[in-house]
Chain A
Amino acid sequence: MAKFEPVLFARINKPDSTSLKTYMADGGYARIKEILSMAPVDVINVVKDAGLRGRGGAGFPCGLKWTFLPKDHPGPIYLCINADESEPGTFNNRILMEKDPHQLIEGIMIACHAIKSNNAYLYLRYEYGRSYRTLDAAIKECYAAGLLGKNIKGTGFNLDIVLHRGAGAYICGEETGLIESLEGKRAWPRIKPPFPAIEGLFRKPTIVNNVETLCCVTHILYRGKEWFQSIGVPPDPNNPRDPGSYGPKLYCVSGHVNKPCCVELPLGVTARELIEEHAGGVWKGRKAKAVVPGGISMGFLSDKEFDTKLDFAGPGKVGCLGLGTAAVVVIDDQTSMVDVLFNCCRFMSHESCGQCTPCREGTAWMTKILTRIRAGQGRLEDLDLLMEVAGSMGIIPGTTICGLSDGAAWPVKNAISKFRGDFEEYINSKRATVTSAQKLMEAH
C-alpha cells in the first residue's frame, strides 16, 4: 500500500498554521461561497453518501443524524460542537484545534449551512487553554474577514460561533450532558426520547458533532465522496447493517511505547501496525500485553488480538465495545492488569454523574473491590462478583440513561475474561501494591 498522505493533519506542521492567511494560501475557504450556495439538502446528501461516521465514539452516521431534524422547522436550530475531549488517551481534537482551527471552522460553516442553523456552540474542554486561545483568535479573524457573522460572502447565510469553555467533567462530553451543561445546569444526561435532533439545546432541534467529524466534512465537500470512500474499509457484505468505515482517522497512540503520537491513517489499521510502525514499538524492549483500542471504556485487546482491524466494526468482533475515539493505549507485559483495571474503575467512579443507580453505585463498588484486591485482601470470588456487577451495570444496550455505565463496565468484563490469570495470580500471591500515599489519594 502506498504511503497515506495525511489530509486532516496536512497543515499541522506548517509554520503559522493557525492563521487565516496561511489557511487561505493552502486553499482553505476557496470554495466556501460555492458550498454555501448549494441547497442544504444537497450538502447533507453528499455527507450521507460519503458514509461519514461520527468520530466522537459511537460512530453514528453523520449525514443520517442531520436528516433527523424536523422538516421545515421555523428555527432556531443549533449546532453544538463537542470539543470536550475527555476519554483517557484521546488527544486528536486538541491537535486539530491548536494547529488548524480554520479547518474546523470551515467544517462548522458547512454543517450549519446543511442543517440550516445560524448558531453554533463550541463546547470546549476547560483544560484546553491553548485550544481556547487559538480558536478564539481564529474566530475573531473570521469575523474580521467576513467569514462569520451576517451575510457571509454575500450568500445571505448568517452564522455566529460561540466558544464555551466546559465544566470540567467527563460526562459533559455525552451529547445531552453537554447540552445540559451548556444551558448552565448540572451535566446530567437527559432521558431519550426526545433526541436532541428533535428537542435539544434550549428545547430546540440540535445537532451535536465531534470536532474531527466536522473537519472531515470540510474535506468531503472539497474532494467529493468518491475520494472519501477510496479510504478505509468498505461495508462487510455479510452484515447488511454495517455502513462501513470510510475515511481517514486520527489514531492517538500512548502508553508504554517509545514514541507516543497522534497519526492520521485510513480506518482499518491494526494495533500491531500502530505500535510497530508509527509509535516506535513497545518501550524498553518489552512486549505489549494488552491494548486499549479506543479509550478505556472500550475494553482491552489481548496480545492474540493485536491484528484486529481498528475500524468501526473491528474491536466489536473481539469482545470490545467498539472503536470509540481510536485512542490506543499500550500496556506492556510488566504491568499488572489489576492496576490497569483499578485505574479505569477509579476514573469511571470519579466521573460517574451519579444520576442512575447502577452506574453511581456500581462504579464505586467495583473500585472498592479492586482497592481491596490491591491491598492484598482479594478473594477469588471477587472476580465473579466483579463480572456480575459489570454485567448488571452495562448490558448493551444499556440499563442506564447514558452510555457511561456501559463504558465503565466494559473494561472490567474484558480485563477479567481476557486476563483472568493475571488477577488470580495477584490474588493468590496476596501482594499489596498500594502505598500509604496512594491509599490517602484513593480515599478521595
Chain B
Amino acid sequence: MATVTVNGKEVEIGASERLNCIQAASKVGVEIPAYCWHPALSVVASCRMCLVEVGDKKPDGTVAMQPKLVPGCQTPAKDGTVIISDSQKVKDARKATLEYLLLNHPLDCPTCDQAGECYLQDYSFNYGRGYSRLNEPKNIKPDKTYIGDQITLFTDRCIMCTRCVRFTREVSGSAELQVVSRGSHEEIDIFPGHPVNNPLAGNVVDLCPVGALCSKDFLYQQRVWWLKSQSSVCPGCSTGCSITVDQNEERVYRLHPRTNEKAQGHFMCDEGRFGWKYTHSDQRLTSPEARTNGHVTSSDFDSVLGSVRTALKKAAQGKGKVAAVLSPWMTVEEAYLLAGFLKSLSGEVTLAMGPVRIEGKDDQFPKDVKGNVVEPVKFTIRAEKAPNRAGVEAVLSHFAGDVMPFEELLRLSSTGKFSAVYLVGGDPEGWISEIQAEAFSKIETVIVQDILSSPVLKHATHVLPSGTFVEREGVFVNHKGLAQMIRRSVRGPDGTRPDGRLLWELAERSGLIQTDTLRSEIASAIPALAVIGNAELKVNGVLLDEAVVAV
C-alpha cells in the first residue's frame, strides 16, 4: 500500500493502481481541474490547468517540496507523495491559466450548446477571475461546419486541449483531426476531404470540455439544464454500453456514454448514440387490438389483455398447443414474467428464442489507415445487434431446459402444431420477414407484442403495443455476462404499455409492477441469475457466471 497526502489528508492507494495526482486527489474528494487530461487518452500535460505543488515525504517525516508547480496529470502518485492543491501559488496559477484560456474565447454562452455542462464555465466560476483584462480585439476564427456529418466545430470556442485529436489517433485510429497553424492562431481541423465520419465520431463531442465540437443532432435543441438524465444501457448491440439518456418533457434528446470500466469504458458508437430515433417515430404501434376475422373488435388495453388471456388459457388446454417467442430485446424480468405465466398455464408450452440479428463481424478499434485492427483493442461494436440474448437465454434455459432457436419454432409452427403463439418483437430494424411470417398464417391465435409494424401483424389476432428501451425498466445482460439496468426515462406514447407492466397485468399479478421485488424473485428462482438481486446492479452492473454467456 502507498500513502499519499492530499492537502494534509492522507489516503491509501493500492500498489498496482498507478494513479496520477489528479486521480489520487479525487480519492479524498479534492478536485484538481484539468482540460487536456482524460483517463482514456494519452497524457500531453499542455493545458496547464492541473498545476499543483508536489513533494516527497521522507521516512523521517520531513517533506521536501519541488520548487516549481507540476502538472498533476503527468505526475505519478507514489508512496509518500505530498500534493498541495489549495495554496495561493496554485490558485494564482489556475487563475492565470483560466484568464489565458478565456482571452480569445467568444464568451457566447447564451447561444452555446455546452453552457451548463461546460468546464470552462465551471472552472472559471470556481477558480477564475470575474473579468477579462484584454483590451484588444479577440482572434476571430471561422466556424467549421464541414468537420463531420454529425459534428460541427465552433473554432473560436476551442481551448486546444487536443482531446479530440488524440481520440481520433488513439481510439478510433482514423486520425482525421489535426492541429493546424501555430501559437494563438492554432485551430483544430480535418485533412481536406476526410471528415470525421468514423463509427465512433460522436465521442469527440463528449470529450470536448467546452462548446467547440457540437453534435449537429443536438445543436440548439435544448438547454442542458432543462434535461433530466437517467442512467441506462444502450440496446444497439451486445456490447451493452453504459449510457445516460437525457430527456425533457417526455422526449429523448440525446444519449451519451457513461463511464463504466466493467462495460465498455468511456465511449460509445454513433450507431447507438443516434439509434434511439425510433422511440419517437410516428410508425410506432399505438393501438392495442383484438381482431376477429381481420376486423378489430376491441381496442381497449384491458379488454385486449383479457382476450389474450382467455385465448391462451383456451389453447393451453390442448397438449403442447401454446408456443412463445421471447425476443433478445426483452429484459430479464419481462422474459421471466412471460415464460413464467405461460408455464403456469401449461407445462407443455414451447418457448423459443427470438431472432438475434447479426450484422457482419465485430468491429474493433483502433484501426490503422488500411483498416487493420491495432492491438490493444479499445472499443468493439459487436455484430450481435441485440442487447439481451444472454439474459433471455438464461431465463429460457431455466424454464425450457434448452434454448430453441427461432427457425425451429418457425418449422414447428408451419406444421400446424400450435393453436396459439405469443410473439415478442422489439427490434427496431425488424425481426421477421414476409416469408417467415407465413408460418403463423394458419394459427388460430397469434399475439404480437411489438413496438413497430412488422409483416407478422397481418396474421395477428391480438396486437399489444409495447415500449422501447427508454420507456422500460429492467436488466440487460451483455456479451460477457454483465447484468446492467435500463431505466425508464420517458413515458411511451398513448396506447402503448411498457412490456413489464403489460405482462404483469396479463399474468394477473396484484398491484403495480415492482421490478425490485421481481428481481429478488428471479434471483432466488434462477441460480444462474442469482447476482441480479445485488445492489451493485444499479450502479455499474454485476457479472453473471461465465456459464450463462457461453453459448
Contacts and interface: CB of A to CB of B under 8 A. Distances in A.
Interface of A: 169, 186, 191, 349-358, 360-365, 368-369, 371-372, 385, 392, 395, 397-401
Given A372-B136, A392-B93, A355 B44 contact: yes
Nearest to B136: A368
B201 interface: no
A399 B48 contact: yes
Interface string B149-174: 00000000001100000000000000
B68 A361 contact: no
A179 to B, nearest CB: 15
B136 A358 contact: no
A363 B68 CA distance: 21
Nearest to A371: B136
Contacts of A401: 45-46
17 contacts: A191-B45, A354-B160, A355-B44, A355-B46, A355-B160, A356-B47, A358-B96, A360-B183, A360-B184, A364-B104, A364-B184, A365-B100, A365-B103, A368-B137, A369-B136, A398-B68, A399-B93
Contact of B96 (A353, A354, A364, A392): A392
Given A392-B92, A392-B96, A353 B182 contact: yes
B97 A357 contact: yes
A360 B67 contact: no
Contacts of A368: 134, 136-137
B133 A362 contact: no
B179 interface: yes
A360 B45 contact: no
B186 interface: yes
Interface string B179-194: 1011111100000000
B74 interface: yes
A392 B182 CA distance: 21
B456 interface: no
Nearest to B73: A191
Contacts of B68: 395, 397-399
Contact of A350 (B100, B135, B182): B182
B186 A399 contact: no
Interface in B112-152: 133-137, 139
Contacts of A357: 46-49, 97, 100-101, 159-160
Interface of B: 43-49, 51, 67-69, 71, 74, 92-93, 96-97, 100-101, 103-104, 133-137, 139, 159-160, 179, 181-186
Contacts of B103: 361, 364-365
Contacts of A349: 183-184
Nearest to B135: A372
Contacts of A399: 48, 51, 68-69, 93
Contact of B48 (A350, A353, A400): A400
Contacts of A397: 67-68
A358 B71 CA distance: 13
A137 B179 CA distance: 37
Nearest to A189: B46
9 A-B pairs with least C-beta separation: A364-B184, A361-B100, A392-B96, A368-B136, A354-B186, A352-B183, A397-B68, A355-B46, A191-B45
A360 B48 CA distance: 11
Given A353-B182, A364-B183, A365-B103, 5 more contacts: A186-B179, A355-B160, A357-B159, A361-B101, A395-B69
Contacts of B183: 349-354, 360, 363-364
Contacts of B133: 385
A353 B185 CA distance: 10
A273 B135 CA distance: 43
Given A365-B100, A400-B48, A360 B179 contact: no
Nearest to B105: A361
Contacts, number: 92
A362 B93 CA distance: 13
Nearest to B183: A352
B119 to A, nearest CB: 13
Nearest to B96: A392
A357 B182 CA distance: 12
Contacts of A354: 160, 179, 181-186
Contacts of B160: 354-355, 357, 360
B184 A356 contact: no
A400 B181 CA distance: 19
Given A356-B48, A358-B96, A360-B184, A365 B134 contact: yes
Nearest to B100: A361
A360 B185 CA distance: 9
A344 to B, nearest CB: 14
Given A356-B48, A362-B100, A191 B43 contact: yes
Nearest to A187: B182
Contacts of A371: 136
> Which of B49, B74, B97 has its CB near the most chain A CB atoms (within 10 A)?
B97
B74 A191 contact: yes
B72 to A, nearest CB: 13
A169 B136 contact: no
A105 to B, nearest CB: 33
A385 to B, nearest CB: 6
A397 B68 CA distance: 6
Contacts of B185: 354
A223 to B, nearest CB: 39
A349 B104 CA distance: 14
A392 B92 CA distance: 8
A94 to B, nearest CB: 24
A361 B46 contact: no
B48 A364 contact: no
A385 B48 CA distance: 20
Contacts of B71: 191
Contacts of A364: 103-104, 139, 183-184
A195 B185 CA distance: 29
B92 A356 contact: no
Contacts of A169: 182
A385 B134 CA distance: 10
Contacts of A350: 182-183
Contact of A191 (B44, B101, B136, B181): B44
Nearest to B159: A357
Nearest to A368: B136
A349 B184 CA distance: 8
A213 B530 CA distance: 72
A398 B182 CA distance: 20
B216 to A, nearest CB: 27
Contacts of A186: 179
Given A352-B182, A372-B136, A399-B68, A358 B48 contact: yes
A358 B184 CA distance: 10
Given A352-B182, A368-B136, A371-B136, A358 B45 contact: no
A357 B97 CA distance: 7
A398 B51 CA distance: 11
A385 B68 CA distance: 22
Contacts of B45: 191, 401
Nearest to A388: B96
B519 to A, nearest CB: 48
Nearest to A353: B182
Nearest to B93: A399
B26 to A, nearest CB: 21
A7 to B, nearest CB: 38
Contacts of A361: 100-101, 103-104, 184
> Which of A186, A191, A361 has its CB near the most chain B CB atoms (within 10 A)?
A361
A18 B210 CA distance: 56
> Which of A349, A357, A362, A401 has its CB near the most chain B CB atoms (within 10 A)?
A357
B403 to A, nearest CB: 50
Nearest to A397: B68
B41 to A, nearest CB: 14
A285 to B, nearest CB: 39
B67 to A, nearest CB: 7
